Amino acid sequence: MHQSPHTAPAATPRPARRPSRRIAMIAAVGVLAGGGASLALAGTGNAAVAPPQRTNAAAPAATGTGLADPHKKEIAMELVSSAENSSLDWKAQYKYIEDIGDGRGYTAGIIGFCSGTGDMLELVQHYTDLEPGNGLAKYLPALEQVNGSDSHSGLGTAFVTAWKAAAKDTVFQQAQNDERDSVYFNPSVNQAKSDGLGTLGQFIYYDAIVMHGPGDDSVSFGGIRKTAMKKAKTPAQGGNETTYLNAFLDARKAAMKTEDAHDDTSRVDTEQRTFLQAGNLNLDPPLRWKTYGDSYQILTLP
């Protein structure tokens, strides 16, 4: 156990980074966030995927409560990074990019934007809106062409180098933050609040949508939520919060086990379930957990 409040252990072998991220990940953004993309693409074929549209869903209040509180949001970013990157330093991931061999092309950035699922294309388009002529803008045609496939055509080493160089640009960092919030954070937190969930529940939803995508099939976020609601009522429906969250985690664990890469479900078992069993519905430090066998702790609010 490391004694620094925000220090992670050295990386150890673990499942590939976010292997369950789905080609159909954008299917239910409109359902969750009041707008956005509406198509789903089954499988990993070569049909182009429409980029996920940045939604008009209101962000949780800037000074907000729950996971919208800046301190709790920082904790959420560190918790996700412990599972995705074996590190609490999520800000070091702006420059991350590689093909992890999951059929989705390049996976990159703080949330794992993929060249094959549309959200990387949407990110670079947003970056170019903010800063025309940036070093990634010239790759927009290639990103449009490879969308829906695992192809590197028109990208390759030059694109990887350009991505890492762009990651030093604060405008690109902000663009990544914007896309994370628009497609993942705001929809999941708003849905959790609508379901009557507190800070821990909001984080549980956010981590699920990051890994599984905001689709509506049985192993995407929307489907996992529907499965949980068949077993327990949400607090907004008059149910017990802990009972419902246990049902949600059970449903998520079952979804994870549909892929061999997710036989290790420790981000549920020894992270989120640990906080829930402790009754820490506010996600208050000190927090101690394990993911893929590595131990982490956050002793104080960031």
- Identify whether 178 is a catalytic site residue: no
Residue 114's nearest CA partner among 105, 101, 123 is 105
Cβ atoms 207, 189 nearer than 8 A: no
Residue 116's nearest CA partner among 52, 188, 36, 44 is 44
Q: What is the pLDDT of residues 261-285, one digit of tens each?
A: 677 899 999 999 999 999 999 999 9
The two structure tokens encoding residue 43 = 């499988």
The one-letter code for the residue type at 22 is R
Output the pLDDT for position 39: 26
- Which one is catalytic: 69, 78, 99, 102? 102
Output the pLDDT for position 1: 28
Cβ atoms 7, 301 nearer than 8 A: no
Average pLDDT, the chain: 84
Q: What is the pLDDT of residues 222-239, one digit of tens each?
A: 999 999 999 999 999 999
Neighbour order of strands in the sheet with 113-114: 97-99, 106-108, 113-114
- Identify whether 102 is a catalytic site residue: yes
Cα 236 to Cα 34, 48, 196: the distances in Å are 19, 38, 5
Mean pLDDT, rounded, for 74-100: 94
- Which one is catalytic: 69, 84, 181, 195? 84
Q: What is the pLDDT of residues 180-211, one digit of tens each?
A: 999 999 999 999 999 999 999 999 999 999 98
Statement: the pTM of the whole predicted model exceeds 0.75: yes
Query: Which long-range CB contacts under 8 A does 156-160 form with residues at least 24 apart?
Result: 159/106, 160/97, 160/98, 160/106
